[in-house]
């Protein structure tokens, strides 16, 4: 019983350590992307950390299986190297006992991954998509931040203001630089002491009303170069395109909605969600088989082959999902063939010593 608790505890601790490192690495990459979007004005900085939190469940559902797989390899590999497994077997335990012990933390993690995959991740994706859609329906002026250059929609210019009162919508010391239309050289520079947004009651068009400033248009030194001063100037704000709205994809729908839908994309997404917890016992069986090593080889000798096999498993699942969506494989087959294939590989690896002995016994008997 002491051995049982010891092995289960070591596996869970290693899994948590590996998963935490992987989560930090992946979140850092996601954070840099969101930070770049915020710097160019494509993302409201206030949404940055909320979006990061919404993406955590989607990362965890894929990190935890890999973390558990590596945790089993590291723990059992160390126990083989330090001869702890020899002591375990010497006390009357078998390899199947080791399998049963390992499946306790595997079952726990499988339940957690199932809850995340089937319920938590869709909620997070749906909420983040709703936030991004809400942001995309706001005009550029509503997303301004004082003291920061912000890209105009389409990336064809920048706008800057030294002060912005979000309640009144008034701007102070406004600077706008934008590219001229196709066929016209140079750019247009607008500078004004203040401005505000005006909406035409009839057409619904949005305008940036600027006061006390000047406009430069064209290339300095050329005959077509224009310099205009104004007391008041109306700059039309481009309408918000519906194409900018993000379509709610199947990954953001609830599991119940996917279950009831005959849509093949939804069926593929549903099978993917069920696949993630189903992966765990299969890779655990494979990890037990791969963890067998000798003190000379070291505990890390099987890590690289294990990661390669795990990545092949994930790639096969993704290819199976794409093939299912394209109609290349029937929906009833779905992703089950991938699991059966890797279960066969895991069973073969787990029983390799037995198969090897039986084969040579048959050869000698023949």
Q: Is 108 helix (H, G, I), strand (E, B) or coil?
A: helix
Residue-range domain boundaries for the chain: 2-136+249-365, 144-237
Quote the CA–CA distance of 275 and 283 in Å, as a whole number: 12
Residues in the chain predicted with pLDDT less than 70, given as ranges, are 1, 40-42, 136-143, 153-155, 166-167, 181-185, 238-248, 298-299, 353-366
- The predicted pLDDT at position 366 comes to 52
Cβ-contact 49, 31 below 8 angstroms: no
CA 6 to chain centre: 34
Q: In which residue are the tokens 């859609």 written?
A: 133
- The predicted pLDDT at position 131 comes to 83
For the record, the structure tokens of 197 come out as: 């947004």
- The predicted pLDDT at position 23 comes to 94
Q: Is 152 helix (H, G, I), strand (E, B) or coil?
A: coil
For the record, the structure tokens of 257 come out as: 């909605």
Q: pTM value?
A: 0.75
Q: Which H or E run includes 313?
A: helix 303-325
Full DSSP string of 216-281: EEE-TTSTT-EEEEEEEEEEEEPPPPGGGSPP--GGGS-HHHHHH---HHHHHHHHHHHHHHHHHH
- The predicted pLDDT at position 20 comes to 95
């Amino acid at each position: 019983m002491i051995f049982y608790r010891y092995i289960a505890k070591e596996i869970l601790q290693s899994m948590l350590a590996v998963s935490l490192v992987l989560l930090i690495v992946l979140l850092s990459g996601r954070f840099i992307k969101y930070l770049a979007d915020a710097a160019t004005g494509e993302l409201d900085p206030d949404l940055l950390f909320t979006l990061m939190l919404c993406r955590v469940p989607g990362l965890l559902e894929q990190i935890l299986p890999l973390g558990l797989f590596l945790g089993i390899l590291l723990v059992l590999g160390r126990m083989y190297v330090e001869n702890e497994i020899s002591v375990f077997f010497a006390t009357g335990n078998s390899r199947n006992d080791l399998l049963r012990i390992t499946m306790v933390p595997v079952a726990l993690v499988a339940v957690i991954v199932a809850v995340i995959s089937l319920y938590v991740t869709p909620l997070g994706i749906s909420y983040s998509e709703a936030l991004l859609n809400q942001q995309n329906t706001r005009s550029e002026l509503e997303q301004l931040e004082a003291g920061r250059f912000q890209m105009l929609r389409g990336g064809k210019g920048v706008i800057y203001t030294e002060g912005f009162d979000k309640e009144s919508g008034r701007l102070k010391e406004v600077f706008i630089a934008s590219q001229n239309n196709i066929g016209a050289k140079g750019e247009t520079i607008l500078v004004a002491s203040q401005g505000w947004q005006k909406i035409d009651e009839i057409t619904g068009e949005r305008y940036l009303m600027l006061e006390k400033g000047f406009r430069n248009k064209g290339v300095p030194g050329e005959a077509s170069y224009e310099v205009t001063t104004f007391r008041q100037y109306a700059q039309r704000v481009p309408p918000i395109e519906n194409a900018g709205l993000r379509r709610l994809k199947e990954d953001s729908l609830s599991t119940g909605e996917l279950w009831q839908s005959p849509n093949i994309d939804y069926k593929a997404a549903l099978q993917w969600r069920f696949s993630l917890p189903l992966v765990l016992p299969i890779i655990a069986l494979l990890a037990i088989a791969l963890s067998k090593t000798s003190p000379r080889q070291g505990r890390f000798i099987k890590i690289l082959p294990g990661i390669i096999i795990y990545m092949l498993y994930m790639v096969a699942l993704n290819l199976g999902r794409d093939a299912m969506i394209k109609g290349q494989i029937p929906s009833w087959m779905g992703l089950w063939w991938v699991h059966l294939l890797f279960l066969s590989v895991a069973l073969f690896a787990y029983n390799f010593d037995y198969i090897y002995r039986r084969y040579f016994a048959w050869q000698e008997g023949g």
